[in-house]
Chains A and B, each alone.
Chain A
Amino acid sequence: MFKKILIANRGEIAIRIIRACKEMDIQTVAVYSKADKNSLHVKFADEAICIGEGPALDSYLNIPRIVAAGEITNADAIHPGYGFLAENANFSKICKENGFTFIGPEAEIIDLMGDKVNARNAAKNAGVPIIPGSNTLSSVDDLLEIADEIGYPVMLKAVAGGGGKGMRVINNANEAEKGFNIIQNEAGMAFNNSEIYVEKFVKNGRHIEVQILSDKFGNHLHLGERECSIQRSNQKLIEESPSLFVDDSLRDELTSKSLQLAKNVNYVGAGTIEYLVDDEKNFYFIEMNTRIQVEHTITEMVCMIDLVKEQIRAYAGIELTIKQENILMNGHAIECRINAEDPFNDFIPSPKRIESLNFAGGIGVRIDSFIYAGYQIPTNYDSMLGKLIVHSSSREKALIRMKRALQETFIEGPKTTLPLLEMIFENKDFNNGNFDINFLSKFLKKIRGKNNESS
């Protein structure tokens, strides 16, 4: 087992990893930017190394400085968390070359899954259904031909895309040329790779993903699914596990196909395979995330498995001791993301000082956060302040518990998503499980409409 792990991240996920390490008797090294010198991960870790200025390119994205911090502290492994360098193949390679175990996949697997066209082909080879579409497009004519074949509307996507960028819906042939040029430019600028491809646009899909856990001995487990349809511009806001929409036969299909893909690519560690599921319960591969995800917590709650610890063990070369038949999905878990942004003003970030706060408590409530009273939210990073997670024996009880927990939670200083979350948990359709990926944008339009009427 590792003696000392450097955590190349900040915020709640850095703390999440430090917690796992402490319980495993592994020493921890935090790295931090000057903007983060008062952040909790710096205080919780056994050692902390300042690696640069606030902007992420100078600090959390600066590979040489992070590796140097590992060298001067004699760490033996580096955990990238999520975001920043978590899915950077070059970082995985450099860690290895410099004698550190990267707690994430080998560069080849990150490359394979990071390239959307290659990932589609890998999924196809594993028998995972993919959305009808193309390989890399060479011209507008290419696009027109394929769009005619699969039928409009279609979705143009960047090959190297992710995080909701480099995507555009094309409704008819007239929009093709303009869309092609815009997305090609956007992809070039955002991902330094202007290759694009096209897929059929699935209108009313649900976003459902399967958690995978694999070791270096060819053992692959699934930990059920997560329902992540409550999102806006591909940013998730509420996640739950299991999904009300997934019945036993769909679950069998989703998980067995996911395991086949994990096997095919010799996956190691924690990974997630994302699907779009349509009204008829047809499901299509979207992408595979080769890292621990923000919403891993709800799977932990229903499966009673510490995913971060298992992930660390997997990369330390320890064989999984959990057997698939022993993984039981107990009850229902829901996670809400609390972000420092104004949900009623186009989600403008609100990086203010936390004047005071109270987090919910009581049975079945979990908080993964890093803020404290007096903490100044830096302007350089993600707006997520923390995650409020509840667990109970059924979805109904979990919903009631979340409402109770949201009432107990307040954050004074920045604008947050808390009031929006409270409104969503009062919504009948949401409570009945009657929603798809368009729910949140429709819901926001409705509130805006009401506000305009009353004013």
Chain B
Amino acid sequence: MWKDKIKEIIYMLENSDINEIEVRFWFKKIKVTKKPPVLNVDSSQLSSDNLNVPNLNKEEPVDSNIDTPKHDSSKRLIEIKSPMPGTFYSSPDPDSASFVSIGDNVNIGDTICIVEAMKIMNEIQAEESGIVEEILVDNSSPVEFDQVLFKLKPSK
């Protein structure tokens, strides 16, 4: 319900000339701001191409051969969710390397992170194997039950 409202607001914003909408709903205040398009383009793209077209130009050729299957498989990404509320840790201790990084191959049973609850470090294991495509949570930030932590691309 709440998410739908935000989607609605974003849609309204995208289809209008205004840059910012602030609404009050169920005692909560939410503000959606549209960033000026120039700020979204990073400097590497600025140097190679002209201002507004680069994104489209670059993606066009990629889209036709490699990106299309990639796009399809991205819909079938495996989501690894937190089994409990707690604090997310990407490594066994602050000085160690992360359990997994983007691009790593993960096998069933591999520990991929820790969710700490009540001072107990709960190792979270992958229930399916795949390649880490996305890590959605920053180290030592709070997570809810069922929150998506990782997205894996299924390995063939």
Contacts and interface: CB of A to CB of B under 8 A. Distances in A.
Contacts of A64: 84, 117-118, 120
A44 interface: yes
B85 interface: yes
B87 interface: yes
B17 to A, nearest CB: 31
B27 A43 contact: yes
B24 to A, nearest CB: 12
Interface stretch (A49-57, A161-169, A179-187, A380-388): A49-57
Given A43-B26, A44-B26, A71-B118, A65 B85 contact: yes
Given A43-B26, A49-B85, A67 B146 contact: no
A50 B117 contact: no
A52 B87 CA distance: 15
A394 interface: no
B28 interface: yes
B19 to A, nearest CB: 27
A59 B84 CA distance: 10
Of the four ranges (under 10, 10 to 19, 20 to 34, 35 or more), the interface on chain A belongs to: 20 to 34
Nearest to A58: B145
A101 B118 CA distance: 15
B142 interface: yes
Interface of B: 1-2, 26-28, 84-87, 116-120, 142-147
Contacts of A69: 85
B142 A73 contact: yes
B102 to A, nearest CB: 25
A3 interface: no
Given A49-B144, A72-B142, A44 B27 contact: yes
Given A65-B145, A72-B142, A73-B142, A43 B2 contact: yes
A243 to B, nearest CB: 38
A21 to B, nearest CB: 13
B144 A50 contact: yes
10 contacts: A49-B142, A50-B146, A51-B144, A52-B84, A52-B145, A68-B118, A69-B85, A71-B86, A71-B118, A98-B119
A442 interface: no
B130 to A, nearest CB: 25
Interface in A59-99: 59, 64-65, 67-69, 71-73, 94, 98
A49 to B, nearest CB: 5
Contacts of A68: 84-86, 116-118
B118 to A, nearest CB: 5
Given A50-B146, A59-B145, A73-B142, 8 more contacts: A44-B27, A50-B147, A52-B84, A64-B120, A65-B117, A68-B116, A72-B142, A94-B118
Contacts of B144: 49-51
Given A38-B1, A64-B118, A68-B117, A50 B85 contact: yes
Most chain A CB atoms below 10 A, which of B142, B144, B146: B144
B140 to A, nearest CB: 10
B28 A43 contact: yes
Given A72-B86, A72-B142, A67 B28 contact: no
Most chain A CB atoms below 10 A, which of B2, B28, B118, B147: B118
A72 B117 CA distance: 9
A67 B84 CA distance: 11
Contacts of B117: 64-65, 67-68, 71
A18 B117 CA distance: 24
Most chain B CB atoms below 10 A, which of A44, A59, A72, A94: A72
B27 A65 contact: no
A309 B7 CA distance: 38
B26 A72 contact: no
B87 A71 contact: yes
A72 B85 contact: yes
Interface string A30-55: 01001000100001100001111000
A64 B120 CA distance: 10
A30 B26 CA distance: 15
B1 to A, nearest CB: 5
Contacts of B145: 34, 49-52, 59, 65
A88 to B, nearest CB: 16
Nearest to A31: B85
Contacts of A71: 86-87, 117-118
Nearest to B146: A50
Nearest to B87: A72
Contacts of B118: 64, 67-68, 71, 94, 98
A407 to B, nearest CB: 29
A31 B120 CA distance: 20
B77 to A, nearest CB: 21
Contacts of B2: 43
Nearest to B25: A43
A67 B86 CA distance: 9
A69 B118 CA distance: 9
